[in-house]
Structure 1
Amino acid sequence: MIRFENVGLRYGMGPEILRDISLHIPERSFQFLSGPSGAGKTTLLRLLFMSLKPTRGLITIFGKDRSRISRSELPHLRRRIGVVFQDFRLLDHMTTYENVALPLRVRGREEASYRTDVTELLKWVGLGERMHVLPPVLSGGEKQRAAIARALIEQPEILLADEPTGNVDPPLARRLLRLFIELNRLGTAVVIATHDLGLMEQVDARRMILAGGRLDVYD
């Protein structure tokens, strides 16, 4: 689904932040991305999501050379990738339901065509009773689950999650991890960026460790 070959990234004339990164994300796979703070995990996720272009090297996404993907093609390809950001990015003036449904509204779909899907997904992530409240009323864990639901509503082929358990307590972190495992079981490839070693030990999954601008992969 995604392949990096000797990818490097630098900003302007500065030193390379990422160097000679090679990896592949197979269909239906599950992997953790770890490394010290400031190692570039979020930057690597941005390359995966195509919000950054590499300085050098080859990135192939869904069979397409990243350097040849036109601006008009990007929205269609990005809809195949769900993203959970560290800061949630929920809109405070919209209810939980409206936040989760937003990607479908942006695509021009009528509410009648997705109302049931959004409602069922919110129930699946444990927010069935909170779908009509605004984000400021939600706890940190509830906001996290709302962000996950929004990332899943378009049934992505890949989910990228940036520190999805960084702001929740251990029991909720385990619950969120079970959601990701179930999602993976249903066919979505999952990439979780985390520094939580305890979380990684709960799943037999590939580990990608980023340090010093380089990536080591352990199957």
Structure 2
Amino acid sequence: MVRFENVGLRYGLGPEVLRDLSFQIPAHSFQFLTGPSGAGKTSLLRMLFLSLRPTRGLVNMFGQDISLLDKSAIARLRQRIGIVLQDFRLLDHMTTYENVALPFRVMGRDESSYRREVVDLLKWVGLGERMEALPPILSGGEKQRAAIARAVIARPQLLLADEPTGNVDPTLARRLLNLFIQLNKSGTAVIIATHDIALMDQYQARRMVLHESRLHIYE
């Protein structure tokens, strides 16, 4: 599903913040991405989401070399990827329900075909009473759960999550991780970036560790 070969990334004229990344993400796989603060986890997730181009190397997504694709083709590929970033990226003028339903609207689906699914997922993540609330009045944890619900609602082929359990209590963190696991069992490849070693230790999963600009993989 994903193949990086000798990928490097630098910002401007500075040194490479990521270098010589070579790895593959198989379809239906589950892995954690970890490493110290500033190691480049968010930058790697942004490259995987195709919102950041590498400085050098090959990135192949879903069988396509991204260097050969125009903006419209990149946009189509991104529809196959769900992402949860630490700034959530919710649209302030849309209700919680509308934010979570957005992937279906982009696909052109009629609301009657997805409303029940969106409502059920919002209830499951504890936002059943906040469906009509706008993001500015949501707490940090509520925004995070809304962002997660939006990322998983359309069952993407690849899910990227940056510290998805950082603003919730341990019980809800386990519940959200179980949501990702169930999504993975239904066929989605999952990459979760986290600092939480205790949380990772609860699950048998591949670990991708960024250290000193390089990636090390432990099966």
Identify the residue that residue 179 of structure 1 maps to in structure 2.
179
**Distance apart, 1:179 and its partner CA:** 1.2
Structure 2 distance, partners of 1:111, 1:216, is 44
- The secondary structure found in structure 1 opposite 2:121 is helix
TM-score normalised by structure 1 residue count: 0.93
**Distance apart, 1:126 and its partner CA:** 3.4
Identify the residue that residue 49 of structure 2 maps to in structure 1.
49
Structure 2 distance, partners of 1:42, 1:106, is 25
Structure 2 distance, partners of 1:137, 1:51, is 28
Identify the residue that residue 146 of structure 2 maps to in structure 1.
146
Structure 1 distance, partners of 2:28, 2:166, is 24
Is 1:96 aligned to 2:96, yes or no? yes
Describe how 1:31-180 pairs up with structure 2 within 5 A: 31-180=31-180
User: Residues 35-75 of structure 1: CA distance to partner in whole angstroms, max 9, x if unpaired?
Assistant: 11111000000111111111111111000012112211011
Q: Is the 8 A contact 2:7 2:20 kept in 1?
A: yes
- The secondary structure found in structure 2 opposite 1:215 is strand
Q: CA RMSD in A?
A: 1.5
Identity of aligned residues (%): 71
- The secondary structure found in structure 1 opposite 2:159 is strand
TM-score normalised by structure 2 residue count: 0.93
Moved over 6 A (4+): none
User: Residues 121-179 of structure 1: CA distance to partner in whole angstroms, max 9, x if unpaired?
Assistant: 32343333332223344333322221111112222001000111112222221121111
* Unaligned residue ranges in structure 1 (runs of 5+): none
Range with greater deviation from structure 2 (113-122 or 156-165)? 113-122
Structure 2 distance, partners of 1:156, 1:83, is 9
Letter in 2 for 1:198: A
User: Residues 97-131 of structure 1: CA distance to partner in whole angstroms, max 9, x if unpaired?
Assistant: 11111232234433223222322332343333332
